[in-house]
Structures are given as C-alpha cells and as structure tokens.
C-alpha cells in the first residue's frame, strides 16, 4: 500500500439502520477498487467486514470494521458499522475517527428510525455526509419516493446527484447529473444517455447547479447572470457545499448487483473532506480547557485509540487513528491518558480480519497493534515531550442489566477474567457485584448485545454462562416497636448451655440501616458476653422473618437477660441474641421494602402520553417534565422491580426513539398485595 499524504486520505463511516446494506455496499466498494478479488455476500457469511462468527451466525454486523482501499490515488478507510441499536458504542467510536459519513437508505423501506438516529449523531459530530439509496434492484424500490422522505425528514439540502435508470427488476444503472453521463452494469461502463430521462435529469441538474453556486459569491454572480458554470466550478462549488454541510448529495445503486459504486467511490474522493480538513479537540491538563489542533505530519505523535478487541490469534488488538505525527513498528510511545510508556510491536493495516504488517502509520491514517498492556479505548498515544490528550470518545451509558450465572464450577473460576476482558472490548458494557442479592450484574445497551456478549464469553474465553433477569434486592423492616425474650438453655449430661437475652426493637427512618445498642445494667449479662449477643443479632439481621431478605432500618437494644456461672458461653449468648431478634421481628409487624429508582425518560414529544400511560401501569409517580426542541424529558420515581426490562419496553413503545437513565433513590414499603406474592414465591423457592 502506497504512502499517503493527509490530503489523500478519506476516513469514511458507513451508517444506517440495520439491514440497509452497509456491509454489502462496503464489500462492493472493496471489490470495485480491487482491494478484494471476490465479491462476498452477507447471506453466505463471506463478506470482508462481517467475519466474526457471531456476525456470520446472526447475519448482522456487530463490530465496526476497517476496510481500506485505494481509489484514484487516495486511500479510503471505509468503516462499516452495525445498524442494530444495541451496538451504538461501535457507531460512536467510528464516527469519532471519521471525517465524512455515508448514510445508506433502503430504496424499498425508506427512512427508518435508525436512519434518523444516525443522522442526528452526524449532526452532533458536525460530520459532512453523502446519502446512498441502496437496493434499487429490490421489489418495491422507489427512488423518488425515498428522496421525498429524505427531504421531508432532513431538509431540502439533500439533493440527488444521480438518478437511477430503471428500478426493481429493471434497474440497470445510474445517471450522473454533474457530468450527464450514464453508467450501467456492474462494470460501470459508460453508456448512451437514456433519452427518456433527459428532461427529468435536466431539472434535477438545475437544482444542483443552483445549490453549488450558492456557496461561492463569484459562482452565484455568474449563475444569476445566466452564465454556464464549468464542470470544474460545479464540482468545486458542490464540494464546498458538502464539506460545510449545506448540501447532502444523494447517490443510488445496488450493493447486491454491484451497481453504482464506481461513481460513488469517485464522489467519496471528490466531495468528502480529507483527513487534513478536520480539526481534533484536545484537552490539556494544565490549561483545563479544550482546544483544537490541526492534523499534521510534522508534529509529535497524537493518536486516538478507538477500539480494543480480543483477537483469537494475536490476543488483545488495539485500533487507533493517528492525528499528528506518525507511529512506527517496534517503538515506544507515551500513553498521555494513563501517563506511562507503552511498547509498540508490529503495526498492522487491517482489512476486516486480514492483518497486513506495516512499518509505519502516518497522520490521518488508522490501523492496529497487538498486545498493548496499559492502553484502553479512548486513550491517546503520544510523546512524553509534548503530551497532548485527545478528547475521549463519549459512549452511551448502559441502561439494561442481566445477572450472569456461570454454568459450572470451572466457568465460575474463569468468569471474573472473562468479564473484565468483555468490558475492556465494549465500553458500553459494565460489570458489578450486587452484594444484597449476591449476583454478578452485566449492564449494557440492550438484550441482544448482552446475548452476544454471553456467546463471546463461551467462544473466545471458554466460559459458559446463563443470563437471567436480576433479582430485586428487597429488604425487611418492622413498623412498630417490640420486645422479645429468648432463653437458650440445655441440660445435657455434664456441662450445660445457658444464655438469656431481652431485646427492645424500634423502627428507624428509611435509609438508617440497622443498629445495635447495649443498655444492660447491674451485670445481668456480664460485659464480656455482650459482643457475642451483638454478633448473634447482626447475623440474624441478614435474614428477615418474612421472606429471608436482609433487615434494615431498626435498632436492637439489649436491656436485660441472665447468665449461669458455669453453663454460659459466647456461643450460648450468640444463639440467644439471634433468637431474640427473630422473635422481635415477628412481633414488630414486619413489612417488605423495595428499591425505588429515579428515572429520566427522554422521548420525542409524540410519545409522551404513551410513556406516562405505561409508567402508570408500573406503579410510577411522575414528578415532572422538561420540554424543548421536540423532545420531552419525563422524570418519575418507580420501583426497580417494575423496570428490570424497561429498555425493551421503551424500545417497543417508541420504536427505538427513546432512551432513559435510572438511579437508585430510596427504599419504600412494597404494597401489601404485591408483598404477599413476593413472600409466597420466595418461600416456595427456599423450600
């Protein structure tokens, strides 16, 4: 692969809802650019991008893939991303290291929720973009209807630069409105212009010329005076318009039939910004503020790590994008995020699973290196002399959790290490231990993502796990003060057993936890036995009398008792302490407590009624609502037990347009009719 200057590199992310054809289109582009010899198919599991066994099995992309190719002297680093919303972390990482985006839209199904979502990510990142209307060969494919949808959702700045020749089974090729040339067949041979499309093409071309002229004072003057813009002027005007986001050109074709990709690769080179044209935000420790730096070859190294994966052959593989300077094989760099030296072994240029060893990677380019020890996703690799830190990638917070149960004892032993690596690979996955329920909780964006994670644990790390809905950490407490007495007395042959304890229990406010106090006077229980009583009480706090849940929010005071000079011992007083507490709990009109969460649901306005209606069925108390920009943020308090699968409910109510965050607020009494059910289930479980 030849060495590239910054201005000859295009880092381009492919985005869309699942199934629009990103992976197929990237395969067609690699084939057209002769980077691969055989055109693979998603259906057959043979594409360059979807090489992972989990991707082949499910026929969807799960990971971002780097797919470089050479086109007209430029190096294009295509980055294919998953369209399924659970894998949004990969999309965010890919967007961060690209200068331009291609949004794929299916000619038959049109603009979908996922299309709007990726569009808004591009807006947030201010990413110049091209639209490709794919699947023109498919039944029901309708270019003009799709263009209409695109324009009504994303504005009139979206303008066709191509028109299709034919549609569905009759789809043959495309007309380029800039050059007024037409291309048919997968070889993209230039053919005679179809005369039937002439007047339509002229009118679309006119709109394009006007939009291109508008970005440049000289061009608009010429245009308004009725002058013809030259081919060059038209191209450069359009480029400016695309780079500044004033125009989003629409292309079309068929990935399956490999039609339309030659002119599309041209367009990527001609219209999308080069690696030189997009500044990167850096944060400096000293100044404590963000600044922008320009990509440049002649500066110390600054490279952003945007992905970490566990490769079956080389081990941990770190993907990075160089912004300034260069990075060489067999060298040392400074990890400016973690402030430590990192040894760099062999660098690779990746194309799907292919790893081509390379000596160096320069500014603007991206690649990977194996076996870094210190470095994680989001870190900057740089130089110690001039340690710049690139602003890290912002990943969405996990919103869906499942409990992980190892299948066997061997699986249990390997579980911790596997989970650590899983979280290292996917920044949207978190692992934590829930002490109250004694479960390991795996959190992420959605159910499919966690299922894939479980498959991956089995395949990559040899750890078998079952995923289950997490248990709710219920607690128990009492509602009235109570007194209880317990005498542990046994006379068996020689040495007997004797411990006698009187406890007073009183409820404490929510969130107080449990306390133990000693008010024994006159040595009725000798001081040296009090710690044993406390131990017994504390142990009994671990399991309440209603449903074996931990006891909280009460004080147990030992105020009287008696002892035997020979038969008493620590163990006897421990038993008596525990026994007294159990009796007292039963006397104190015990209740079940459940965790209440503060939840913030962000949805487009139209869904507000449905969301509130649904929350009401979940015993929620809506506390308030923030409106603005067509989006409502609903705040509510809701029992954790009701929102264990809320990510799934929310997705189905809003077709994926909503998101939410929940955090623990406090414990509250479980309503009696629900408590009865929980107690019955728990007792059945214990039996």
Ligand X SMILES: Nc1nc2c(ncn2[C@@H]2O[C@H](COP(=O)(O)OP(=O)(O)OP(=O)(O)O)[C@@H](O)[C@H]2O)c(=O)[nH]1
Binding site for ligand X (CB under 6 A): 16, 18-24, 42-43, 60-61, 82-84, 134-135, 137-138, 254-256
Residue 70 pairs in a beta bridge with 75
Residue 33 or residue 504: which is nearer to ligand X going by CB?
A: 33
Q: Which does 256 bind (CB under 5 to 8 A by kind): Mg ion, ligand X, none?
A: ligand X
Residue 92 site contact among ligand X, Mg ion, none (CB < 5 to 8 Å, cut-off depends on kind): none
Quote the least distance from Cβ 449 to ligand X, whole Å: 13
For residue 18, the partner it binds in Mg ion, ligand X, none, with Cβ less than 5 to 8 A by kind, is: ligand X
257 class by beta-carbon count within 10 Å (0-12 exposed, 13-18 middle, 19+ buried): middle
Instruction: Choose, by CB under 5 A, the member of 61, 162, 477, 568 that binds Mg ion.
Output: 61
**What's the CA gap between 106 and 90, in Å, rounded?**
21
Select the binding partner of residue 65 from Mg ion, ligand X, none (C-beta < 5 to 8 A, by kind).
Answer: none
- Joined together, the tokens standing for residue 20 give 């629009």
Contacts of 225 (CB under 8 A, 6+ apart): none
CB of 171 to ligand X, least distance (A): 9
Q: Which is nearer to Mg ion, 60 or 558 (CB)?
A: 60
Q: Break the chain down into helix, strand, coil percent, rounded to 5.
A: 30, 35, 35
Query: What is the sign of the dihedral through the CA atoms of 350, 356, 357 and 361?
Result: negative
Q: How far is the CB of 178 from ligand X (least distance, A)?
A: 23
What is the rounded CA–CA span in Å between residue 314 and residue 316?
7
How far is Cα 599 from Cα 475, in angstroms, rounded to an integer?
21
The two three-digit tokens of residue 357, written as one number: 């060893």
Q: Token digits for 443?
A: 């959190």
- Between 24 and 324, whose beta carbon lies closer to ligand X? 24
Q: Which is nearer to ligand X, 116 or 570 (CB)?
A: 116
Considering only the stretches 55-63, 267-275, 397-405, 511-519, report the one whose residues sit in contact with Mg ion under the rule CB under 5 A: 55-63
Q: Which is nearer to ligand X, 109 or 665 (CB)?
A: 109
Interface region with Mg ion, contact rule CB under 5 A, candidates 20-28, 264-272, 278-286, 463-471: 20-28
| Distance, CA of 143 to chain centre | 32
- Residue 386 has what DSSP assignment? S
> Residue 61 or 324: which CB sits closer to Mg ion?
61
- Whole-number Å distance between alpha carbons of 587 and 605: 51
264 and 373 in contact (C-beta within 8 Å)? Answer: no
Min dist CB 47 to ligand X, Å, is 7
Q: Which is nearer to ligand X, 138 or 276 (CB)?
A: 138
Q: Whole-number minimum distance, CB 135 to ligand X, in Å?
A: 4
Name the segment binding Mg ion (CB under 5 A); options: 53-61, 179-187, 260-268, 296-304. 53-61
CB 80 to Mg ion: min, Å: 6
Nearer to ligand X, 90 or 439 (CB): 90
Q: Which is nearer to ligand X, 61 or 318 (CB)?
A: 61
Please report, for residues 64, 106, 122, the alpha-carbon distance to residue 16 in angstroms, rounded to integers and kept in the order given. Answer: 13, 9, 11
Are the C-beta atoms of residues 478 and 582 closer than 8 Å to each other? no
Q: Cβ 191 to ligand X, closest distance in Å?
A: 20
Distances (CA, A) of 196 to 133, 144, 147, 166: 21, 16, 20, 11
Only one of the segments 56-64, 66-74, 233-241, 481-489 lies at the binding site for Mg ion (rule: CB under 5 A); that segment is 56-64
Between 112 and 379, whose beta carbon lies closer to ligand X?
A: 112
- Residue whose CB is less far from ligand X, 86 or 649: 86
Residue 43 binding: pick among Mg ion, ligand X, none (C-beta 5-8 Å cut-off by kind): ligand X
From residue 56, how far is each of 38, 44, 105, 164 by CA, in Å?
A: 17, 8, 22, 31
- When CB distances are held under 5 to 8 angstroms depending on the partner's kind, the choice from Mg ion, ligand X, none that residue 237 binds is none
Residues with Cβ within 8 Å of residue 14, at least 6 apart in sequence: 22, 25, 26, 78, 79, 80, 81, 101, 102, 104
Question: Least separation, in Å, of the C-beta of 45 and ligand X?
Answer: 11
Backbone angles phi, psi at 321, to 5 degrees: -125, 125
Q: Contact between 23 and Mg ion (CB under 5 A)?
A: yes
Residue nearest to ligand X (CB): 83
**648-654: which pairs have CB atoms within 8 A and are 24 or more residues apart?**
648/400, 648/446, 648/447, 649/614, 650/601, 650/603, 650/611, 651/85, 651/446, 653/607, 653/610, 653/611, 653/614, 654/603, 654/604, 654/607, 654/610, 654/611
Name which of ligand X, Mg ion, none residue 382 binds, using a CB cut-off of 5 to 8 Å depending on partner kind.
none
Contact partner, 336, from Mg ion, ligand X, none, Cβ < 5-8 Å per class = none
Closest CB to ligand X among 52 and 342? 52
Helix H or strand E encompassing 610: helix 608-617
- Residues in contact with Mg ion, counted by CB under 5 A, come to a total of 3
Given Mg ion, ligand X, none, residue 16, with its beta carbon under 5 to 8 Å by kind, binds ligand X
Q: How far is the CB of 129 from Mg ion (least distance, A)?
A: 18
The one of Mg ion, ligand X, none whose footprint includes residue 254, by CB under 5 to 8 A per kind, is ligand X
Q: Does 65 bind Mg ion (CB under 5 A)?
A: no
The two beta strands, 100-106 and 129-134, are parallel
Q: Measured from the CB atom, is 76 or 107 closer to ligand X?
A: 107
How long, in residues, is the chain? 687
Q: How far apart are CA 279 and CA 321, in angstroms?
A: 13
Does 26 sit near Mg ion (CB under 5 A)?
no
What is the rounded distance in angstroms from the CA atom of residue 125 to the CA atom of residue 103? 14
Q: How far is the CB of 378 from ligand X (least distance, A)?
A: 24
Which residues would be at the binding site for Mg ion (CB under 5 A)? Answer: 22-23, 61
């Amino acid at each position: 692969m030849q060495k590239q200057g910054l201005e000859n590199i295009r880092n381009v992310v492919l985005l869309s809802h699942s199934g629009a054809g990103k992976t197929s289109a990237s395969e067609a582009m690699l084939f057209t650019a002769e980077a691969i010899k055989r055109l693979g198919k998603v259906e057959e599991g043979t594409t360059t991008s979807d090489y992972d066994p989990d991707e082949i099995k499910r026929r969807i992309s799960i990971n971002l893939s780097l797919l470089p190719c050479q086109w007209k002297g430029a190096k294009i680093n295509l980055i294919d991303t998953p369209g399924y919303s659970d894998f949004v972390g990969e999309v965010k990482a890919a967007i961060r290291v690209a200068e331009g985006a291609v949004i794929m839209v299916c000619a038959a199904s049109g603009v979908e929720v996922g299309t709007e979502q990726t569009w808004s990510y591009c807006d947030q990142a201010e990413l110049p973009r091209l639209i490709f209307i794919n699947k023109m060969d498919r039944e029901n494919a309708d270019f003009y209807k799709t263009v209409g949808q695109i324009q009504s959702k994303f504005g009139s700045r979206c303008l066709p630069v191509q028109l299709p020749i034919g549609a569905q089974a009759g789809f043959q090729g495309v007309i380029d409105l800039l050059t007024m040339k037409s291309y048919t067949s997968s070889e993209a041979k230039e053919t005679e212009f179809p005369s039937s499309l002439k007047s339509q093409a002229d009118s679309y071309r006119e709109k394009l010329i006007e939009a291109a002229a508008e970005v440049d004072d000289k061009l608009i003057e010429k245009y308004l005076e009725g002058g013809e813009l030259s081919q060059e002027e038209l191209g450069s005007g359009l480029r400016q318009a695309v780079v500044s986001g004033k125009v989003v050109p629409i292309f079309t074709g068929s990935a399956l039939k490999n039609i339309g990709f030659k002119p599309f690769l041209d367009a990527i080179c001609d219209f999308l910004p080069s690696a030189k044209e997009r500044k990167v935000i850096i944060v400096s420790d000293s100044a404590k503020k963000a600044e922008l730096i320009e990509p440049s070859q002649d500066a110390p190294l600054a490279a952003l790590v945007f992905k970490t994966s566990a490769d079956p052959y080389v081990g941990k593989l770190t993907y990075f994008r160089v912004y300034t300077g260069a990075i060489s094989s067999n060298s040392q760099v400074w990890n400016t995020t973690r402030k430590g030296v990192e040894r760099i072994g062999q660098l690779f240029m990746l194309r799907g699973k292919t790893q081509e060893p390379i000596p160096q990677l320069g500014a603007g380019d991206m690649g990977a290196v194996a076996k870094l020890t210190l470095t994680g996703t989001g870190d900057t690799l740089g130089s110690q002399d001039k340690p710049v830190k690139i602003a890290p990638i912002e990943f969405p917070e996990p919103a869906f959790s499942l409990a992980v149960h190892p299948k066997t004892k061997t699986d249990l032993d390997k579980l911790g290490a596997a989970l650590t690596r899983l979280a290292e690979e996917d920044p949207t996955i978190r692992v934590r231990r829930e002490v109250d329920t004694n479960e390991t909780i795996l959190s992420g964006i959605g159910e499919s993502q966690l299922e894939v994670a479980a498959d991956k644990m089995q395949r990559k790390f040899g750890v078998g796990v079952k995923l289950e809905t997490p248990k709710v950490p219920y607690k128990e407490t009492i509602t009235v003060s109570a007194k209880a007495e317990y005498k542990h007395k046994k006379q068996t042959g020689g040495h007997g057993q004797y411990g006698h304890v009187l406890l007073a229990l009183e409820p404490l406010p929510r969130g107080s936890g449990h306390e133990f106090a000693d008010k024994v006077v006159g040595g009725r229980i000798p001081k040296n036995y009090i710690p044993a009583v406390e131990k017994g009480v504390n142990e009994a706090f671990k399991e309440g009398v209603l449903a074996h849940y931990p006891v909280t929010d009460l004080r147990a005071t030992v105020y009287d008792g008696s002892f035997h000079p020979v038969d008493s011992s620590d163990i006897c007083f421990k038993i008596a302490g525990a026994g007294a507490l159990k009796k007292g709990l039963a006397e104190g009109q015990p209740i079940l407590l459940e965790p209440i969460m503060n939840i913030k649901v962000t949805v487009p306005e139209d869904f507000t009624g449905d969301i509130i209606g649904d929350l009401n069925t979940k015993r929620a108390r809506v506390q308030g609502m923030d409106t603005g920009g067509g989006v409502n943020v609903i705040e509510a308090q809701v029992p954790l037990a009701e929102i264990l699968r809320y990510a799934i409910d929310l997705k189905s109510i809003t077709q994926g347009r909503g998101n939410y965050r929940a955090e623990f607020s406090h414990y509250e009494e479980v309503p009696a009719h629900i408590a009865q059910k929980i107690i019955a289930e728990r007792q059945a479980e214990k039996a």
